[in-house]
Amino acid sequence: MNNGTITLTVNGKDFRGKKVEGKAGQTVLEVLRDNGVYVPTLCYHPKMPPYGGCRLCIVEIENMRGLPPSCTTPAVDGMVVHTHSERVVRVRKTVLELLIAYGDHNCLLCEQSGNCELQDLVYEHGIEKIRFKAEKILKERDISHPMIIRDSNKCVLCGRCVRACLNVQMNGVIDIAGRGSEAFITTFNNTTLIESNCVSCGECIQACPVGALTEKKSKGMGRPWEVNKIRTTCPYCGVGCQLWLHEKDGRIIKVTGVEDAAPNYGRLCVKGRFGYDFLYSEDRLKTPLIRENGALREASWDEALDLVATKFKEIIEKHGPDSIAGVSSSRSINEDSYQMQKLFRSVIGTNNIDNCART
């Protein structure tokens, strides 16, 4: 080890005695991932504390007992790590079979089919038959929330939703209750989601690797392979959160956060994630309206702007420029806000200009 640098030897899939470097304090998984070494995971997420619950990231480390989870095992200089030994792969397959046996994972009916990490891992490991039979007592789905469907029968207890709620969004609405095979994800006092303190940010949905948490609004609207993803900036405030618009046939069916982009790194509020219905509202104004004789009539932009300019001139002449004030919307781009303040200061002659984000 030199200046905090450690070296590991990797023997596994596509690697035979390759030397990889990491930093002191990193876990084995972090070092491997930083060097492009693939290790399957389910409960791990880079923006959450390591959990070590799914046991799919297990590796074989020479001179160490058992098969430790690489996500919680500190990397030590000189380690020799086997990521895909026969023993490791055999245990991973067993874990996957148990997850399938104890859950209701019907990919034909699941909303996450095609975007499910469990489905991908089962396919990757070539599992065609489940050796275990488990008595399944199906639980009723929680559909109380207007935005979120919670299906405990598809839950794999990876804990990602719990850590997303507590460690990422700092809300702590859900947790794991019970022990062993009786464990389950629940809210405080085991209420429905709508009765809990949920703030409807949807971070738990984005964190869920399977179909246990899905969006009610997008249910049945399109499979992942039918959807185009378009990156954009959230229009609701001045933070500038980065979004993926999931679009099918010219219509937005879902919104998710961009995980690797500032400033939000995947996090969204309830408006940013779920507030896109206004685009398709029949009540949206499509043309300027001018009030005459107590009623509104449609007008052209030129007519409406000329009327506003005339009224401004009349007010300024009678009461002075400081009788007019403007508030710039944070939904506007910076260039538009700059032009608005320039209009008020240079043309109208007042400094009465503000932005709604400041409050």
Q: If you average pLDDT over residues 164-170, what whole number do you get? A: 95
Q: If you average pLDDT over residues 257-285, what whole number do you get? A: 94
Domain that holds residue 307: 302-358
pLDDT value at residue 181: 80
Q: If you average pLDDT over residues 157-162, what whole number do you get? A: 96
Quick check: 203 pLDDT over 60? Answer: yes
Q: Say which CATH number the domain at 32 has.
A: 3.10.20.740
**Mean pLDDT for the chain overall:** 93
In a domain, 253, yes or no: no
User: How far is it, in rounded angstroms, from Cα 338 to Cα 138?
Assistant: 58
> Which of the residue ranges 25-39, 144-158, 175-189, 199-213 would you say has the lowest mean pLDDT?
175-189
In a domain, 122, yes or no: no
Q: If you average pLDDT over residues 255-265, what whole number do you get? A: 96
pTM score, two decimals? 0.85
Quick check: 150 pLDDT over 80? Answer: yes
178-191 tens-digit pLDDT? 988 889 999 998 99
Domain final residue pick, 37, 67, 84? 84
Q: If you average pLDDT over residues 226-237, what whole number do you get? A: 92
Q: If you average pLDDT over residues 219-241, what whole number do you get? A: 92
In a domain, 205, yes or no: no
pLDDT value at residue 175: 95
Domain final residue pick, 84, 115, 135? 84
In the numeric block, the tokens 């099918």 are attached to 248
The total number of structural domains that make up the chain: 2
Quick check: 4 pLDDT over 90? Answer: no
> Which of the residue ranges 42-56, 59-73, 122-136, 254-268 would you say has the lowest mean pLDDT?
122-136
Quick check: 128 pLDDT over 70? Answer: yes
In a domain, 9, yes or no: yes
Dihedral sign for Cα atoms in the order 130, 131, 137, 139: negative
Quick check: 1 pLDDT over 80? Answer: no
In a domain, 290, yes or no: no
Domain final residue pick, 39, 56, 84? 84
pLDDT value at residue 12: 72
User: How far is it, in rounded angstroms, from Cα 259 to Cα 266?
Assistant: 4
For the chain, give the secondary structure using H, E and C.
CECCEEEEEEEECCEEEEEEEEECCCEHHHHHHHCCCCCCCCCCCCCCCCCCCCCCCECEECCCCCCCECCCCECCCCCEEECCCHHHHHHHHHHHHHHHHCCCCCCCCCCCCCCCHHHHHHHHCCCCCCCCCCCCCCCCCECCCCCEEECHHHCCCCCHHHHHHHHHCCCCCEEEECCHHHCEEEEHHHCCHHHCCCCCCCHHHHHCCCCCEEECCCCCCCCHHHCEEEEEECCCCCCCCEEEEEEECCEEEEEEECCCCCCCCCCCCHHHHHCCHHHHCCCCCCCCEEEECCEEEECCHHHHHHHHHHHHHHHHHHHCHHHCCEEECCCCCHHHHHHHHHHHHHHHCCCCEEEHHHC
pLDDT value at residue 83: 95
pLDDT value at residue 155: 96
- State both tokens at 14: 């596509």
The residue length of the chain stands at: 359
In a domain, 264, yes or no: no
- State both tokens at 169: 């969004």
8-41 tens-digit pLDDT? 999 876 777 899 999 999 999 999 999 999 999 9
In a domain, 161, yes or no: no
In a domain, 323, yes or no: yes
